[in-house]
């Protein structure tokens, strides 16, 4: 029954028998058979299929079983972990989500150390912007999220684990990089920003409003690399994590303005209350906060 429930979760999540079969490494006929067994067991239709079998519709019964199935799988995983002797070994599978800055610049080094300490714990990592990671943690698609930016505190258990320095960047040798920072000098410039839902984009708007800077234009890019390249190619100014600009500064691709005042933000971990007792999450957070 457990494998059938896991198959059903994948079919509903991907809204496709084909994609679910690929994800869980089963043949499509096996996936169909699992769903048939569940429908026979619960004596109800869980999924309606179109005539051409291209589209599926989840019934109300199916939606209820989907929610219950996620709870059952989580509860069994917790029980399994509690029965293991964690004084000797930590086993299991931890699904981590990270926003772009953390996932691209902070997490690889940390995971190298973590995996060395806990080699029997399987890890999978999803990297998306802060908003999407929060949604996936809320829906229990991820066990743990690492994000920058504002966290809806009522929805998650969360805490800070790292203070990130934000820097004001301009094209290399830009005239404004050679003088003391004054907000008036940065009026009516083009600013380079990340997309909506990004913690970095959120911080740029905070920086502009707190300094009463009115931009001439804001150009939106979907990655930290693209933002850096836009600044390097004289498209505008930005404020971004010092992580992103470490090598570009050394390589003289961009210049950083001395703002006198420090601009920092916090990296946070978030998890749902349902997952808070998982031992795998506890050891991850313990090491994370020890950085």
Q: What is the pLDDT of residue 114?
A: 92
- Mean pLDDT to the nearest integer, 62-76: 87
Residues 19 and 65 both lie in one domain: yes
Q: What is the pLDDT at residue 51?
A: 63
Same domain, 158 and 214: no
| 117 and 169 both lie in a single domain | no
What are 169's strand-pairing partners? 238, 256
Residue 14 structural domain: 2-83
User: Which of 54, 83, 112 is the last residue before a domain boundary?
Assistant: 83
| 113 and 189 housed in the same domain | no
Among the three residues 51, 83, 115, which one is the final residue of a domain in this structure?
83
Are 280 and 155 part of one and the same domain?
A: yes
Same domain, 197 and 283: no
> Do 41 and 176 fall into the same domain?
no
Which of 7-21, 101-115, 226-240, 245-259 bottoms out in mean pLDDT, i.e. has the lowest?
A: 7-21
| pLDDT band at residue 29 under the 50/70/90 scheme | confident
Tens-digit pLDDT profile for residues 41-65: 888 888 887 766 567 888 888 889 8
Any idea what the CATH number is for the domain that residue 190 is in?
3.40.190.10
At residue 268 the predicted structure's pLDDT band, cuts being 50, 70 and 90, is very high
- Residue 235 and residue 221 share a domain: yes
pLDDT at residue 120 in the model: 87
Given 60, 83, 106, the domain boundary residue is 83
How does DSSP classify residue 105? I
Query: Are 231 and 185 contained in the same domain?
Result: yes
Please check whether residues 23 and 143 belong to one and the same domain.
Answer: no
Give me the mean pLDDT over the 184-196 stretch: 93
Please determine, for residue 153, whether its predicted confidence score (pLDDT) is greater than 70.
no
| pLDDT score of 69 | 87
Which of these, 146, 127, 148, 160, lies nearest to 271 by C-alpha position? 146
Q: Are residues 67 and 130 in the same domain?
A: no
- Please, is 153 exposed, middle or buried when counting C-beta atoms within 10 Å of its C-beta (0-12, 13-18, 19+)? exposed
Q: What's the CA angle centered on 71, arms 17 and 68, to 5 degrees? A: 65
Token pair in block for residue 175: 């005239």
Q: 7: domain CATH number?
A: 1.10.10.10
Number of domains in the chain: 3
pLDDT band at 241 (very low <50, low <70, confident <90, very high): very high
Q: What is the mean pLDDT of residues 91-99?
A: 90
Three-state helix/strand/coil letters over 130-179: HHHHHHHHHCCCCCEEEEECCCCHHHCEEEEEEEEEEEEEEECCCHHHHC
| pLDDT (0 to 100) of residue 238 | 96
Residue 189 contacts by C-beta under 8 Å, 6 or more apart in sequence? Answer: 215, 216, 236, 237
Is 107 in the same domain as 125? yes
Mean pLDDT, all residues of the chain: 87
β-bridge pairing 263-271 and 238-241: unpaired
């Amino acid at each position: 029954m457990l494998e059938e429930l896991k198959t059903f979760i994948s079919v509903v999540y991907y809204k496709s028998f084909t994609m679910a079969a690929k994800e869980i490494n089963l043949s499509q006929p096996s996936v169909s058979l699992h769903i048939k067994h569940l429908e026979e067991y619960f004596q109800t239709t869980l999924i309606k299929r179109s005539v051409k079998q291209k589209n599926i519709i989840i019934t109300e019964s199916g939606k209820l079983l989907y929610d219950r199935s996620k709870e059952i799988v989580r509860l069994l995983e917790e029980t399994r972990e509690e029965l293991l002797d964690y004084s000797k070994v930590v086993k299991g599978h931890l699904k981590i989500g990270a926003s772009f800055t953390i996932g691209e610049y902070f997490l690889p080094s940390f995971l190298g150390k973590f995996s060395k300490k806990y080699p029997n714990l399987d890890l999978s990592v999803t990297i998306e912007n802060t908003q999407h990671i929060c949604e996936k943690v809320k829906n229990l698609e991820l066990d743990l999220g690492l994000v920058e930016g504002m966290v809806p505190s009522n929805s998650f258990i969360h805490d800070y684990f790292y203070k990130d320095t934000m820097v004001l960047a301009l094209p290399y040798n830009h005239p404004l990089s050679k003088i003391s920072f004054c907000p008036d000098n940065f009026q009516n410039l083009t600013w380079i920003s990340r997309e909506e839902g990004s913690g970095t984009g959120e911080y740029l708007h905070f920086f502009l409003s707190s300094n009463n800077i009115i931009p001439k234009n804001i150009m939106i890019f979907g990655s930290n690399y693209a933002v850096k390249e836009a600044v390097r190619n004289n498209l505008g100014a930005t404020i971004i994590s010092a992580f992103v600009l470490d090598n570009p500064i050394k390589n003289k691709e961009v210049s950083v303005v001395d703002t006198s005042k420090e601009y920092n933000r916090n990296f946070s971990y978030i998890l749902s209350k349902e997952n808070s007792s998982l031992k795998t999450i506890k050891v991850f957070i313990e090491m994370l906060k020890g950085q």
